[in-house]
Amino acid sequence: MSLLTADRRAAGAGRAKGPAGRPRAATGRRALIWFGTHAVAIALAIMFMAPLLFMFLTAVMSDEQTLSGDLWPTSWHWGNFAEVLSGDMLRWLGNSLLYAVLGTVFMLVSSVPVAYALARFRFRGRKVAFVLVITAMMLPPQITVVPLYIVWARFELTGTLWPLILPLLFGDAFSIFLLRQFLVTIPRDYADAARVDGCGEFTTMVRVILPMARPALAAVALFQFFFCWNDYYGPLVYAKPDSWPLAVGIATFRAAHNVEWNLTMAATLLTVLPVIIVFLLAQRAFVRGVTLTGVKG
Amino acid sequence: MRTTTPRRIAAAIAAAALGLTSACTAGGGGSDDGGPKAEDKQTIQVWHGWSADHEVKGFEDAVNGFRKLHPNITVKVTGNQTDDQITNAIRGGTPPDVVASFTTDNLGQFCQSGAWQELTPRLKKSGVDLNIFPKAVQDYTQFRGKRCALPLLADAYGLYFNKKLMKGNAPPKTMSELAALAKKLTVRDRDGRIKVAGFMPSVQYYEHTPQHIATSFGVKWLGADGKANFSRDPAFTEYLKWEKDLLDWYGYDEAKRFMRTMGQEFEASNPFQKGKVAMAVDGEWRTKFIEKEAPGLDYGTAPPPVSDARAAQYGGGFTLGTIMGIPRGSKHADAAWEFVRYLTTDTGSLVTLANALGNVPSTLQALSSPDLRLPAQFGTFLNVFKHPGTTTSPSSPNGGDYLVQLQKFVQDEWEPGKAQDPARALKALDEKVDKALKLAGG
Amino acid sequence: MTGLAAWTAAGRERRRGERGDGGPGGGPGARGGWSAIGARARRRRRLRVLAFLSPWLIGFAMFFGYPLLATVYFSFTRYDLFNLEYVGLTNYRFLFQDEDAWHAMRNTLWLVAVTVPLRVLFGLGIAQLLTHLKRGGAVFRSVFYLPYLVPPVSATVAFVFVLNPGTGPVEHLADMVGLPMPDWFNEPEWSKPGLALLGLWAVGDVMIILLAAVLDVPKHLYEAAEIDGANGWQRFRHITLPTISPVLAFAAVTGVIQTLQYFTQAMVAGKVAAGQSDQPGTQTVPGYPGGSTLTFPQWLYDEGFRQFNMGYACVLALVMFGVAMLFTLVLLRQFRAFTDGEAS
């Protein structure tokens, strides 16, 4: 690489050296860059937050005002939230929780041993198994939906969320992949020490390795929870109106409520709120999980 | 080794598929054997599509009559159900016990596939004479000899006009009169924006679907061979030209803008109720909505106008109705039948429901009942309903697919002016509809 | 722990495996001599592997292997869940006459071709920006990441409203500055760009892996470049870009595979914008406005679960399988390149 003679520091690199002793021009330029980058970041941040803000402001407007295009509510209708949080919404909420909680628990129980085996056992076909995990993770669910629907219909489980929850008892490819990626980074010595102490493989996994893998477990559980919470396609295929989760219910909300945008936005906001809260509480696990792999979410 | 692997896979597929399909056909049998008798204590699930408060209440009132008669049967009613939801539940093997659908076009699919049970044996056993229903109604509740539904009230379509906005004009009788009057009654503001539309011909205006408007041109929906008829019947081209001429007079973009801001069909903001349109084709139920939501509106009704060549047919129109049936796989079919029979044939119940919904009763006896309490404007619809020239759109094995396709064509291609040559476009449309029909096994 | 590190960790582990430093249970006795005990131990070891893997082995066979084969079988039939009839290649022939399927495929390809590169570029841009921020970096990172977590259905409903002309606040704002606004989700020409915009808003997933990759570039490379006097662009062009290019490629390929499945946002946008749909008594056509948001998976859903042409839906599923498999193979190759590359 042939490099040039300009004498400029990267804004991000070399943090240790202070600006002291720099020529004036360079300091001014650095200030300009500092100002520029932060200005861009702030502008972008406003744009990123604007839709959520608009949602909120619309959610507390009166029905007539939502059609006016006004930005700021002239009167604050907090009752809108109470109005939507009844009847259908509560049932949808219950269904969403059932799907997400059970789904997450089932996924953890079934995926952890598989990921552990793929990460720590040496056996013939291990590479093939791992490739199959990645394949199953990447291929769209639509490919197998028709025969699966037929099977579930045969068990008379269509019309419920069970066709989406039960398969999670048999491992989720994405979670297996992500957990395995984390487990291979745990030094072998820990497990070996446990084994010397006479622990069986299962005990070693539960007592020694899993506590160390807690961040990865948290990330995987969060992803699964949000996947179920957000899932629209699955419930659309399988669920009936009385087993609809929030995602499907919200999509029909507007038509059912005669296009009352304020109520629609209030309901929508209520589906977003738990996600935001969990994210703020568990931010680190999230970022860690995403960076661990960078697929699906 | 090389030859056995594919063969083994093939065998596995065959076995898996066989195991499945034999189980499936055995599982969904859907006849009346096995379920509890009508006299047993049980709960039945009923799905219907009504959603407005007065409609839901009206249905509840009618059901209460049944509850008194059959105290052993608990009826659980769920409203606002679309055909998609109904079909999904039936195909998925977990249906309710009774379903009602507004989309009579889907009857062909319901009957042909067996998704709704054949009712003839039950009709015979219970001694119900089909002649209590008017002839046209008998027709649209059966498909190719299979009777899988009974009528639960009927709908007839007519022209509503706002007397104040008509400025003293009489309601038009022909489509050219309608177009001329529509232009005359339209009011624009200074920027050329439509304030009041005389008549909005677009298929995107609620009930102005091709199904309802093209009927005025005397279209024959399907050929004698059951195939699409769009290019063979010149009435379709006539309809298209009429529709686009008037729409272009408004200006397509302006008409679209108007429709986007005009309000909601089944709500107080309905543009006819708000005086934003002078004339509109709508169903008889609108009388009830106006009574509830715009009681001060001074309006009249008339039979829908007809194309100039068909002036003799004036007075007739389009009719369809809500259909009710028992899904395949219902676990309480006997009780469900009692419910269907009561709701569709009991005069008192039908009159209660007709009064509450502002619908046309679907039995002859209920039609002439002295207890019918309907607004003065309602008479038009009873007359349209009884008129010999009144027609309906025939069922096909894949539901109202041909209607959906026509609507889609008019909305997406014809109205924006993307299809210049109607003859060619309609031919292509015919082919498309026929191919889809073939795929569905029609 | 970053994306890159995760990939390479796999390679490290694999090489160690090849060196054969005794796996769990592989005690010294397992190698020579005592063959009977060795065999028993091996069998026990195999059983243990099987036991650990069994949930997934069963799951894979039941929920992936079998349905895939069954999809092939059903593609030769006409099946509406009541009646099954073998129809040979009829469904395949129909695919070539089915304008809607091709239309849907074009829409999906449009989304792949436009949203994937845009998202990767935008994500990279934001990642770069974040690395240059001295203050509030963590706050900004959260702000940029958060929209990605908003449930897609909710995000779409919100976007349709916010961009809705007449009632939405965005047009209101645009009016104030005198910007013309298209009728986003009501115009066939603008609905897909509207969806692309939604994709850019939810760029968080791409942004965060690229951010990890950018932060993972060894500092000494930058320091060396700095001594040589490279400017910002040159450092980005000659150091950042080559180092993170595998992660970029990874983001692009997974982006393609995800976009091939694009369903929820397109379907919800069409439904909510049309407003009228989903009322009993109306027959809705997917892809409002004018079929412009009809994606391939939506057409599959429509054929399978609204028309109940299960056989034909299986043909559509196989088309999807073919395309998605192609990109999955690319990904797998890339994966191998990653782990092998680490050795050199």
Give the pLDDT mean for B312-337.
Answer: 93
CA nearest C162: which of B257, A49, B262? Answer: A49
What's the mean pLDDT in C256-260?
Answer: 92
Domains of chain A: 29-81 (no CATH), 88-292 (1.10.3720.10)
pLDDT tens, position by position, A214-254 = 888 988 998 899 999 999 999 999 988 889 999 998 887 76
pLDDT recorded at residue B68: 95
In a mutational test of the C interface, the residue from B395, B412, B413, B414 whose CB has the highest number of chain C CBs within 10 Å is B412
- CB B204, CB B412: distance < 8 Å: no
Domain B156-316 of CATH type 3.40.190.10: yes
pLDDT tens, position by position, B87-102? 888 988 889 999 999 8
- What's the CA gap between B189 and B196, in Å, rounded? 9
What pLDDT, on the 0 to 100 scale, is given for residue B98?
96
B22 in reach of chain A (CB within 8 A): no
Contact residues, chain C, for A233 at CB < 8 Å: 263-264, 297, 301
Mean pLDDT for A203-210 is 84
Contacts with C310 from chain A: Cβ below 8 Å:
146, 150
Query: ipTM of this predicted complex?
Result: 0.83
Residue C344 has pLDDT above 70, yes or no: no
Contacting residues of C for A53, CB less than 8 Å apart? none
Min Cα distance A68 → chain C (Å) is 6
**Residue A22: what pLDDT?**
52
| Residue C296, domain CATH | 1.10.3720.10
Residue with tokens 């960790």: C9
Q: How far from B310 is each of B175, B176, B313, C16, CA to CA, in Å?
A: 10, 12, 5, 88
pLDDT band at A95 (very low <50, low <70, confident <90, very high): very high
Does residue C337 fall inside a structural domain? yes
Q: Measure CB to CB from residue A283 to each of C142, C148, C304 and give the nearest one.
A: C142
- Note the pLDDT of residue B440: 80
Q: Which comes out higher in pLDDT, residue A291 or B23?
A: A291
Residues B284 and B154: beta-carbon distance below 8 Å: no
Q: What is the mean pLDDT of chain C?
A: 82
Query: At CA A47, angle to CA A42 and CA A53, rounded to 5?
Result: 110
- CA atoms of B363 and B372, how far apart (whole Å): 13
Report pLDDT digits (tens) over C54-64: 889 999 999 99
Residue B16: pLDDT over 70: no
> Minimal Cα–Cα distance from A51 to chain B, Å?
22
Question: What's the pLDDT score for residue A61?
Answer: 87
Q: Which tens digits make up the pLDDT trace of A268-295?
A: 999 998 888 888 888 777 666 665 554 3
Tokens 């919200």 — which residue?
Answer: A250
Most confident of B22-26, B52-56, C36-40, C121-125: C121-125
Of all residues in chain A, what percent carry a pLDDT higher than 70? Answer: 84
Number of domains in chain C: 1
Structure tokens belonging to residue B32: 């009346």
- Average confidence (pLDDT) over A25-29: 75
Q: Which amino acid is at C285?
A: V
Q: B4 to each of B360, B389, C274, how far by Cα in Å?
A: 67, 68, 54
Q: CB distance from A145 to chain B under 8 Å?
A: no
Q: Is B261 helix (H, G, I), strand (E, B) or coil?
A: coil
- Which tokens is C29 given? 């006795």
Query: What does the pLDDT read at residue A215?
Result: 83
A155-195 pLDDT per residue, tens: 889 889 999 999 999 999 989 988 988 888 888 777 777 77
The per-residue pLDDT for B214 is 95
Backbone angles phi, psi at C272, to 5 degrees: -70, -40
DSSP string, B328-383: TT-TTHHHHHHHHHHHHH-HHHHHHHHHHHT-B-SSHHHHT-TT----GGGHHHHH
CA distances (Å), B174 to each of B106, B177, B299, B368, in order? 31, 5, 20, 30
Q: Find the closest chain A residue to B266 by CA distance.
A: A258
For residue B69, pLDDT over 80 is answered with yes
Smallest CA-to-CA distance from B49 within A198, C278, A276, A140 is with C278
Who among A58, A123, A143 is closest to C68 (CB)? A143
Probe site for chain A from C7, C42, C63 (most A CB atoms < 10 A): C63
Q: Which among C274, C313, C273, C275 has a CA at the least distance from the CA of C297?
A: C313
Domain that holds residue C277: 98-341
Query: Residue B89's closest chain A neighbor by CA?
Result: A159
pLDDT tens figures, C98-125: 989 999 999 999 999 999 999 999 999 9
Residue B438 host element (H or E): helix B422-439
pLDDT of residue A288: 66
Least confidently predicted of A269-283, B29-43, B282-296, C169-183:
B29-43
pLDDT of C282 reads 65
**Mean pLDDT, range B191-212, rounded to an integer:** 92
CA distance A97 to A225: 9
Q: Evaluate if residue A17 carries a pLDDT over 60.
A: no
What are the backbone dihedrals phi and psi of residue B28, each rounded to the nearest 5 degrees, phi first? Answer: -95, 25
Region B402-430: mean pLDDT is: 92
Distance CA B288, CA B294 (A): 10
pLDDT at residue B235 in the model: 96
**Fold annotation for B42-155+319-386:** D-Maltodextrin-Binding Protein; domain 2 (3.40.190)
Between the alpha carbon of residue C317 and those of residues A127, A140, C109, C186, the distances in Å are 27, 9, 16, 29
Q: Which residues lie closer than 8 Å to A138 by C-beta, 6 or more apart?
A: A295, C254, C257, C324, C327, C328, C331
pLDDT at A257 over 80: no
Token readout for B114 is: 């067996």
Q: Which of C83, C94, C308 is facing B435, going by the closest CB pair?
A: C94
B314: pLDDT strictly greater than 70: yes
**pLDDT higher than threshold 60 for residue C17:** no
Q: Are C59 and A167 a contacting pair, CB within 8 Å? A: yes
Place of tokens 């002839």: B135
Residue C316's pLDDT band, with cuts at 50, 70 and 90, is very high
Q: What is the pLDDT of residues C209-248, one digit of tens each?
A: 898 888 888 888 888 888 888 888 888 888 899 989 888 9
Residues of chain B above pLDDT 70, percent: 92
Say which of B27, B88, B89 has its CB closest to residue A154.
B27
**C74 neighbourhood in chain A, CB within 8 Å:** 146-147, 150
Interface contact flag, C24 A120, Cβ < 8 Å: yes
